[in-house]
Structure 1
Amino acid sequence: MNTPQFNLKKWYQFLALGFGSGLAARAPGTFGTLAAVPLVALLLWLGQVYLLIFVVAGAILGVFLCGQTAKDVGEHDHKAIVWDEIVGYAITLLWAPLHWQTLLLGFVLFRLFDIVKPWPISLLDKHIHGGLGIMLDDIAAGVAALIALQLLLPYLPLG
């Protein structure tokens, strides 16, 4: 099997590959999510509306970014494509306070849902293809992690 040739000079591949973080030799999804942490923290610091705008625009743009990059390299949802993780993690932190504990717990919850892919996330992952399919399972994982985080927030000592 040939190794795909990515081109970070193409703006959409640069974003789809999580600013290059998706090219990590191991656990590219985790590295893509790690790349999202400072971005999400900055957006939370600016205000929830900025994070919400990023989530909506990032999800819409992600369908193109991920779909075109997958098409360029001839492989659906290549592991290096991590824009979906970036948007999924951003979804997880919607309406959460900016605190190291929420950033960390959100990271763990999102990675858990993204890796395990419980139903209906697994259904989306298996049956929807192209850029939309690449984005949807991580959007669903982000929503599941958002719900879990919101349920756990009252128990976090955020003082």
Structure 2
Amino acid sequence: MTILRKPDWAFVCSHPAHFLAFGFGSGLAAKAPGTWGTLVALPLYALLLALGLGSMQIAWLCLPLFLVGIPICGLTGRALGVSDYGGIVWDEIVAMLLVLAFAPATPAGWLLAFVLFRLFDIVKPWPIRWFDRRIHGGFGVMADDLIAALFAMLVQAMAWQFLL
């Protein structure tokens, strides 16, 4: 697919779905927009904790955030002409929130969660790569990152089990 429009701040601010899909603008980063989008999840998670939500409440919150991400990412992808444009980072934000919900609330816990999620999101071992290549639209955008989050959560749990 050929991109219909190069996204900029005007595009991101032209529709609430674009603003969310681009991670409040973080997806406009020229280099590594997925990493910048993932980083957005860290202060967002801290804010949710400060507002009194517990980690399990945040984990459950990821379900509606995932579901709303399907049309958000789908609409933005269609507007750009590219289903899974790199600047669409809502999927990274939601997935990282989920990984953080199962990480120790320490700098080391958050760092390991971040590194593991980015590793699985970038390398895309099977079945992540399979979903990424075959499932398109908003659901496809969201699904491969959810699977990467599950991989990161599994390895994270094993790492903390081994370290403690």
Q: Do the two structures share a fold, i.e. TM-score over 0.5?
A: yes
**How high is the sequence identity, in percent, across the aligned residues?**
46
| Aligned-partner SS, 2:79 | helix
Match of 1:121 in 2: 128
Q: Which residue of 1 aligns with 2:105?
A: 98
The CA distance in 2 between the partners of 1:115 and 1:87, in whole Å, is 16
Q: Which runs of 5+ in 2 are unaligned?
A: none
Structure 1: 5+ residue runs without aligned partners? none
TM-score by length of 2: 0.88
Match of 2:44 among 33, 39, 61: 39
Q: 2:22 is aligned with what amino acid? A: L
Work out which of the residue numbers 13, 18, 21 in structure 2 matches 1:8. Answer: 13
8 Å contact from structure 1 (residues 41, 103) kept in 2: no
Structure 2 counterpart of 1:58, one-letter code: L
What letter matches 1:30 in structure 2?
Answer: T
What is the TM-score with the length of structure 1 in the denominator?
0.91
The answer to whether the 8 Å contact 2:12/2:25 transfers is no
The answer to whether the 8 A contact 2:35-2:118 is kept is yes
C-alpha separation in 2, matches of 1:10 and 1:53: 26
CA distance in 1 between counterparts of 2:157 and 2:49 reads 15
* Stretch moving more, 61-70 or 48-57: 48-57
Cα distance, 1:90 vs. partner? Answer: 1.4
Aligned to 1:60: 67
2:31 to 17, 26, 29: 26
Select the residue among 149, 159, 164 that pairs with 1:152: 159
Amino acid at match of 1:52: A
Residue pair 2:120, 2:152 contacting (<8 A) in 1 also: yes
1:24-74 superposed Cα distances (whole Å, 9 cap, x missing partner): 000000000011111123334531233123211110011011000001111
Paired AA for residue 61 in structure 2 = F
Are 1:124 and 1:137, in contact at CA under 8 Å, matched by a contact in 2?
A: yes
The number of equivalent residue pairs is 157
**Matched AA of 2:23:** G
* Corresponding residue SS for 1:67: helix
Cα distance in 2 for partners of 1:44, 1:149 equals 20
